[in-house]
Structure 1
Amino acid sequence: MLVNVSYNNKEITRKVDEEVGKPFPLKQRWALGGIGSPKLMITEASVEIRNLLILDNNLNSCNIEMRPRGIIVRFRSLLETYALVIPFYKLSIYKGDLAIYSIYRDHFFIKVRADTKAIQKFFKKLLDYKADNSPTSIEDL
């Protein structure tokens, strides 16, 4: 689900929380060693996301927030903030050549450069958390 999260809209907040869960409490954020990624440089994106990114001349960057049942990939275009909300059961992450990570949800995708150890460490933490907390059967959803 690709949504504009620039404004405090209760309906969009409810949908996001329904999809990936409410934000982690502070104690759990400490236990996880942080839930946000470093700044990620976007190298490629799906058509809908690319059309938003080309509206301005800024560097195309994003960040990822971990949630209990998924992730939120946030990026900016013009003065708006957009979020790609991905529950774990729809999340696919691939590591390609030249330290590029591809993040997929249905027909949306974002490819980011992982050129530092901090970014690679975050993706390892994300994949480990996904493996430990993904539903194992349809009843768990």
Structure 2
Amino acid sequence: MLLNVSYNDKKITQKIDEAVGKPFSIKERLALGGIGSPKLFITETSIEIQNLLILDNNLNSCNIEMRPKGIIVRFRSLLETYALVIPYYKLSVYKGDLAIHSIYRDHYFIKVRSDTKAIQKYFKKLMDYKADNAPTSIEDL
């Protein structure tokens, strides 16, 4: 789901927590070696996200936050912050040629440059965590 998270709204926070879980504790963050991605530069997006990004002339970038049951991809447009909330069972990540990673959820997608070792290492950590913690059956949801 694509949400405007610029303002501290309890209903939106609750929706996000239900979809991907509450944020990791400090101890869990340290054990994972960090949960946030480096700055990711966007190369291509689905039409809904593109319509938000073209509103300003800034360089399009985003970051990813890992949560216990999914990820949150955040990006800015004008003075607003938007979040693409993706539970692990709906997350698909593809590594394309020319150092591009594609992140999909239903009909939304974001393609980012992965031209540094730090970004590639983060995507490996993300996919390993997903493999270990994603639900294996519908009852686990």
Q: TM-score, with normalisation over the residues of structure 1?
A: 1.00
Per-residue deviation, 1:47 = 0.2
Cα-to-partner distance string for 1:18-70 (whole Å, 9 max, x where unaligned): 00000000000000000000000000000000000000000000000000000
1:1-141 equivalences in 2 (<5 Å): 1-141=1-141
Identity %: 84
Give the Cα–Cα distance (whole angstroms) in 2 for the partners of residues 5 and 115 of structure 1.
28
Give the Cα–Cα distance (whole angstroms) in 2 for the partners of residues 115 and 95 of structure 1.
11
RMSD over aligned Cα atoms? 0.2
Q: Which amino acid aligns with 1:55?
A: L
Give the Cα–Cα distance (whole angstroms) in 2 for the partners of residues 106 and 135 of structure 1.
18
Q: Which amino acid aligns with 2:74?
A: R
Per-residue deviation, 1:136 = 0.6
Per-residue deviation, 1:78 = 0.1
Secondary structure of the residue aligned to 2:98 is: helix
Secondary structure of the residue aligned to 1:28 is: helix
Give the Cα–Cα distance (whole angstroms) in 2 for the partners of residues 91 and 124 of structure 1.
14
Give the Cα–Cα distance (whole angstroms) in 2 for the partners of residues 136 and 2 of structure 1.
25
Alignment gaps of 5+ in structure 2:
none
Per-residue deviation, 1:72 = 0.1
Give the Cα–Cα distance (whole angstroms) in 2 for the partners of residues 100 and 128 of structure 1.
19
Give the Cα–Cα distance (whole angstroms) in 1 for the partners of residues 136 and 44 of structure 2.
31
Give the Cα–Cα distance (whole angstroms) in 2 for the partners of residues 85 and 97 of structure 1.
26
Secondary structure of the residue aligned to 1:24 is: coil
Give the Cα–Cα distance (whole angstroms) in 1 for the partners of residues 116 and 40 of structure 2.
10
Alignment gaps of 5+ in structure 1:
none
Give the Cα–Cα distance (whole angstroms) in 2 for the partners of residues 105 and 77 of structure 1.
20
Give the Cα–Cα distance (whole angstroms) in 2 for the partners of residues 95 and 68 of structure 1.
23
Give the Cα–Cα distance (whole angstroms) in 2 for the partners of residues 89 and 12 of structure 1.
21
